[in-house]
């Protein structure tokens, strides 16, 4: 009787331990994209700052946010096979460079919030 109770307890503990373990494997360096993530965060902050200062109109900000969403979707697609290849990283970098240029151009195009243009 005692043997069955102890055996049942051991089986129960083993089953609970197995269920509690994370089923997702840890990310390896080949599928992590910390540089891409950091650049996206910085670009989003630049967009927020542009809206706050009035340098970006709502339409411009919407366009830039959509561009960021596209890059995010690309990044997720690159990770689906478990490895972000050098070619995929290069494509992400190229897209982020373009997004950065777009942010700069729209923040410095003399359009301001409210539909007015700046005079210099």
Assess if residue 37 is contained within a domain: no
Assess if residue 96 is contained within a domain: yes
Please give the angle made by the CA atoms of 114, 98 and 40, to the nearest 5 degrees. 80
pTM for this prediction: 0.69
**Could you read off the pLDDT tens digit of each residue along the chain, which spans 120 residues?**
666 676 676 766 666 665 555 555 555 656 688 889 999 999 999 999 999 999 999 999 999 999 999 999 999 999 998 899 999 999 999 999 999 999 999 999 987 766 665 554
Whether the CB-CB separation of 99 and 69 falls below 8 Å is answered with no
* Widest Cα–Cα separation across the chain: 92
Assess if residue 19 is contained within a domain: no
Whether the CB-CB separation of 107 and 55 falls below 8 Å is answered with yes
Assess if residue 84 is contained within a domain: yes
SS3 at position 74: helix
Question: Residue 89, Cβ neighbours under 10 Å: how many?
Answer: 15
Q: Which two tokens stand for residue 113?
A: 């919030």
pLDDT tens track for 11-45 = 666 666 655 555 555 556 566 888 899 999 999 99
Assess if residue 31 is contained within a domain: no
74's CB contacts (< 8 A; 6+ apart) are 91, 92, 95
Strand-pairing partners, residue 117, are 111
Assess if residue 2 is contained within a domain: no
* Domains identified in the chain, total number: 1
Assess if residue 70 is contained within a domain: yes
Domain that holds residue 102: 64-109
Cα Rg for the chain, rounded, in angstroms? 24
């Amino acid at each position: 009787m005692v043997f069955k109770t102890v055996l049942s307890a051991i089986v129960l503990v083993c089953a609970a331990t197995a269920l509690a373990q994370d089923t997702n494997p840890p990310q390896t360096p080949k599928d992590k994209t910390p540089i891409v993530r950091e650049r996206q965060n910085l670009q989003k902050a630049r967009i927020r700052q542009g809206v706050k200062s009035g340098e970006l109109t709502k339409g411009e900000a919407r366009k830039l946010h959509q561009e960021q969403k596209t890059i995010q979707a690309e990044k997720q697609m690159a990770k689906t096979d478990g490895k972000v290849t050098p070619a995929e990283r290069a494509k992400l970098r190229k897209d982020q460079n373009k997004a950065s240029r777009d942010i700069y151009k729209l923040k410095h195009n003399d359009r301001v919030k409210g539909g007015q243009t700046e005079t210099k």
